[in-house]
Amino acid sequence: MDRQVSKSEVPSYEIVEEKIKQIDGSIIVLRIFYIFMQIAYKFQLIKNDKLCTVQIPRKLLEGLTNNNSNFDDELTRILDTSIQHADCWNKV
């Protein structure tokens, strides 16, 4: 089972949250899990009555703290691809 973590345990959480709000201001970060086997964070997002899960590698989140534009671009691509893809959103 993946361990649920608080936003204070997630590197660059504020940056992720801000990018999500830029894409769609009605999306809320519901829960975050740390996936040990894949060394990534799984963000569960909710919008209205639908849930979307986005997985972001820990290395990418740690790289954002160094203001590296490549990491920033990759995060934007992951979020855009996931959030705007209809298959990501499942009714809860």
Which has more pLDDT, 86 or 4? Answer: 4
Q: How far is CA 11 from the centre of its chain?
A: 11
d(CA 26, CA 41): 21
> Which token pair is 16?
């992720």
Across the range 7-16, mean pLDDT stands at 95
Distance between CA atoms of residues 7 and 11, nearest Å: 8
Pairing of strands 3-5, 28-35: antiparallel
For 26-78, the pLDDT digits (tens) are: 999 999 999 998 899 999 999 999 999 999 999 999 999 887 789 999 999 99
Global confidence as pTM: 0.91
Domain spans of the chain, in order of start: 3-91
